[in-house]
Amino acid sequence: MMDAFGIIQHLNINCSPLFRNRGAEKCLSHSSEFNVNKAHPMLPKTVEIFKSMEAWAKNNVLTLLKPVEECWQPQDFLPDPTSDGFVEQVNELRKRTRDIPDEHFVALVGDMIIEEALPTYQTRINSTENFHDEMGVDNTPWAIWTRAWSAEENRHGDLLNKYLFLSGKVVMKQIEKTTQYLIGLGMLAMQYGDIKLAQICGIIASDEKRHETAYTKIAEKLFELDPNDMVIAFANMMRRKISMPAHLMYDGHDHNLFDHFAMVASRIGVYTARDYGEIVELLVAKWKVEKLTGLTSEGQEAQDYVCRLAQRMRRLEGRAIAKAQKAPSIPFSWISGRVV
């Protein structure tokens, strides 16, 4: 699955000419060759662009971070292990989750595994020259953002992991194996009565919205400074189709696990082809892609492609949704091999 934050992250880190070079692409394609101690080199033009953005980033991106003492923590939504009523609280949680369908747990587990693959995402960001934070104490706005963003994101997987563990509805060892495989390779609750799970999903979504705003702003600024390369990067990425690092998801049994997880998520409406098209349309409008001027012929071709893309996606939307609905049921090791 992919949201606006993911699109922006991939656009800026993996796909933009501002970052891309053959060596970097090779490293990202073959995890065994990846060396986190060596930053990917950038063109001098690119280095200058990002250096020129540092004061802007300090005032427009770092301000979106929240102080630790103002952030929610996983324990705010979980039974208190120091309480005399801990066992009763766990039993109540299990009672609330009793009627949640297996499909929803599959979607929840998949999302949690993506969150827990955070080291992969941070490594990808940190492997680019301007974001490179070799000792973990660099004071550039890019390094500060990456560390703080990672710390905020870390709570998401932590909360979901503990919630799923306490629910007793999933096989934690299989989930843990899937997460380990993924990191090693490089990368709807209210309806069924669990108000607390609905709150958990909502509070995580509010964090993701702040992070999405940051990446949207960064891309917007890059469109202002280098519109031609950015629109070409946007088009190239969309032509290649977006791949989450989690597409490498594997549990020791199912080599197509991410596709099966994504199909289930689409079937129950967590993330569909319609959402994908709406995100593209939103970003094209937000970044004012249609109004870009002074482009090269390649830039103009890219502009035309991305501006028409949402419309093309709508024509294929029905077919994609029908495919998800007709997909055969699959057993998932995460839920003791039950078929969904």
Alpha-carbon separation of residue 121 from 23, 49, 141, 207 (angstroms) = 18, 23, 18, 17
| Residues pairing with 40 in the sheet | 128
- The reported pLDDT for the residue numbered 22 is 31
Say if residue 220 carries a ligand binding annotation: no
Question: Annotation-wise, does 298 bind a ligand?
Answer: no
User: In the block, which residue shows the tokens 């309480």?
Assistant: 83
User: Is 30 one of the annotated binding-site residues?
Assistant: no
- Supply the pLDDT for residue 188: 60
Which domains does the chain carry? 45-329 (1.10.620.20)
Secondary structure in 3-state letters for the chain:
CCCHHHHHHHHHHHHCCCCCCHHHHHHHHCHHHCCCCCCECCCHHHHHHHHHCHHHHHHHCHHHCCCHHHCCCHHHHCCCCCCCCHHHHHHHHHHHHCCCCHHHHHHHHHHHHHHHCHHHHHHHHHCECCCCCCCCCCCCHHHHHHHHHHHHHHHHHHHHHHHHHHHCCCCHHHHHHHHHHHHHHCCCHHHHCCHHHHHHHHHHHHHHHHHHHHHHHHHHHHHHHCHHHHHHHHHHHHHHCCCCHHHHCCCCCCCCHHHHHHHHHHHCCCCCHHHHHHHHHHHHHHCCHHHCCCCCHHHHHHHHHHHHHHHHHHHHHHHHHHHHHHCCCCECHHHCCCEC
Number of neighbouring beta carbons within 10 Å of residue 200: 22
pLDDT reported for residue 144: 92
Q: Is 247 annotated as a binding residue?
A: no
For the chain, 340 residues long, give each residue's pLDDT as a single digit of tens.
344 444 444 444 443 333 333 332 332 333 333 343 444 566 788 788 888 999 999 999 999 999 999 999 999 999 999 999 999 999 999 999 998 999 999 999 999 988 887 767 777 777 777 777 777 788 889 989 989 998 998 999 999 999 999 999 999 999 999 888 877 765 465 666 678 888 888 888 899 889 889 989 999 999 999 999 999 989 988 888 766 667 888 999 999 999 999 899 888 888 777 888 888 999 999 999 999 999 999 999 999 999 999 988 888 878 887 888 888 999 999 999 999 9
Q: What is the pLDDT of residue 190?
A: 63
Structure-block tokens of residue 293: 């001027």
- According to the annotation, is 153 in a ligand binding site? yes
Q: Please, what's the b/e burial string for 140-178 (b: 16 or more CB within 10 A of its CB; e: otherwise)?
A: bbbbbbbbbbeebbbbbbbbbbbbbebbebbbeebbebb
